[in-house]
């Protein structure tokens, strides 16, 4: 799978030219796989944080109702 940074677009096979460039801007697309773990870590951290905030909110409610 290829990704064009300039177009901010995921490129299908037929959207990459014979030279291996993006057909819209001519930029060489990047492999998107390298950043996948980073995105996953971010998602996990966000979920944990939101879960913690929800827990705090529930605890606050229990003590104030």
* Contact positions vs Zn ion (CB under 5 A): 4, 6-7, 22, 24-25, 27
User: With respect to Zn ion, which residue has the nearer C-beta, 6 or 40?
Assistant: 6
User: With respect to Zn ion, which residue has the nearer C-beta, 10 or 56?
Assistant: 10
Q: Is the dihedral of CA 32, 37, 43, 46 positive or negative?
A: negative
CA distances from 64 to 12, 48, 50, 57, 61 (A): 54, 24, 21, 10, 5
User: With respect to Zn ion, which residue has the nearer C-beta, 8 or 64?
Assistant: 8
Least separation, in Å, of the C-beta of 5 and Zn ion? Answer: 8
């Amino acid at each position: 799978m290829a990704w064009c940074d300039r177009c901010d677009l995921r490129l299908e096979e037929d959207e990459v030219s014979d030279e291996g460039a993006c057909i819209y801007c001519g930029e060489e697309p990047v492999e998107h796989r390298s950043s996948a773990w980073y995105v996953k870590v971010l998602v996990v951290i966000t979920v944990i944080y939101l879960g913690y905030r929800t827990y705090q909110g529930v605890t606050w409610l229990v003590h104030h109702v």
